[in-house]
Amino acid sequence: MQDLNIRISGKAGRITFTRPKALNALSHDMALEIQAALDAWCDDPAVSLVVIDAEGDRAFCAGGDIAAVYRAGISGDHSVGRAFFRDEYLLNATIAEYPKPIVAFMQGFIMGGGVGIGGHAQQRIVGDSSQIAMPESGIGLIPDVGGTWLLAHAPGRIGEYLALTGGRMGAGDAIHAGFADVYLPEARWPELIRTLEQTGDFNRIKGETPPESPLATRDLSPFGQPDLKSITAALEEAGDESSLKAIRRNSPLSMAAGLRMVREARRDPSIRESLAREFRFTYRATEFADFLEGVRAQIIDKDRNPNWQADPSPENLDRMLAPLGEHEMKWETGK
């Protein structure tokens, strides 16, 4: 398909995002194509490893292409979003559990669905332009695509901070937080990709000393408070206006859900449990959450003035995260 270039080059399976004008946003069809390629290469002796990269310097993948989900949801059809999220999460699990090394070269914006593709690779390479974030609370969603799993394993209270504020991480922060592994200036990426194609040797990846991580020394203790209200009070007492500004503009339900889900994910034995919990929320998101209003305000009308209406109470959050019965995530395609 024209949005992806999927091929075998030397000993490497190659997946390249080829829609830079759309910031390489991930559509449902693209997710299915990547899944099919990984399934085909899983037992192919000609493929020693997989390399995922992207055209353009602005984004590896700036998120999911959710326009179709929005249009269907507005018309009352919630099946489009549910099918997209289900297949996307199957792909996230496949990448996280893949039996061969997957190497992701992540430049520019890596957000939402882009984190779901690159963030679960076995070797995640970032450079000076890399900006990684999970900003879903700003569109009435939650950190999904396995984001709660990654956030749960970040040091200290970084997970809560990123889930609530959608803060961006440069290369140093991303490596410190566990969203990336290797820093390498982007001018050196083509040479390394050629080496991987020629050798199929995962151990040929050598990085450089990453930039410092501002998050490593930032006081995030307010994010250890038990709930959103007490976190906000602690931030006000600390005078952390940058965090407060983000929290005040995001969906209250999404933040409450993200906070609970990151903390619950710390007890999950694998990414599958985190993805299944995320799917419970996103399955209901176009019908009962702030998602459609958030997409309208941020992406469709771009007035940046969402009218959040979803109930953030613990009781409603329980309903949003309740098991889905026959609609629970199933892992037939997962490896």
Mind listing the pLDDT tens digit for each residue in 253-296? 999 999 999 999 999 999 999 999 999 999 999 999 999 999 99
H helix or E strand, kind and range, residue 16:
strand 12-17
Q: Which residues, in sequence order, are bridge partners of residue 182?
A: 125
**pLDDT at site 102:** 98
**What's the whole-number mean pLDDT along residues 316-334?**
90
**What's the whole-number mean pLDDT along residues 211-230?**
96
Helix (H, G, I), strand (E, B) or coil at 266: coil
Residue 270 CB partners (closer than 8 Å, separation 6+):
none
Position 323 in a domain:
yes
Position 333 in a domain:
no
Q: What's the number of domains the chain is made of?
A: 1
**pLDDT at site 234:** 97
CATH number of the domain at 314, please.
3.90.226.10
Cα angle, residue 106 at apex, residues 191 and 182 outer, rounded to 5°: 70
16 has pLDDT over 80 = yes
**What's the whole-number mean pLDDT along residues 114-131?**
98
194 has pLDDT over 60 = yes
Asked whether the whole model's pTM tops 0.85, one would answer yes
d(CA 149, CA 265): 6
Residue 76, phi then psi, degrees to nearest 5: 95, 5
The per-residue pLDDT for range 129-145, each reduced to its tens digit, is: 999 999 999 999 999 99
Position 335 in a domain:
no
Q: Helix (H) and strand (E) counts for the chain? A: 15, 9
DSSP symbol at 169: B
Residue position matching structure tokens 């007890």 = 267
* Percentage, residues of the chain above pLDDT 90: 96
**What's the whole-number mean pLDDT along residues 156-170?**
98
What domain range includes position 73? 4-327
**pLDDT at site 54:** 98
d(CA 322, CA 303): 33
* Percentage, residues of the chain above pLDDT 70: 99
Position 162 in a domain:
yes
Position 81 in a domain:
yes
**pLDDT at site 335:** 40
| Band of pLDDT at residue 332, cut at 50, 70 and 90 | confident
| Band of pLDDT at residue 334, cut at 50, 70 and 90 | very low
Task: Give the torsion sign (CA, 212, 217, 219, 225).
Answer: positive
Write down the mean pLDDT value for the chain. Answer: 96
Contact 156, 182 (CB under 8 A): no
50 has pLDDT over 80 = yes
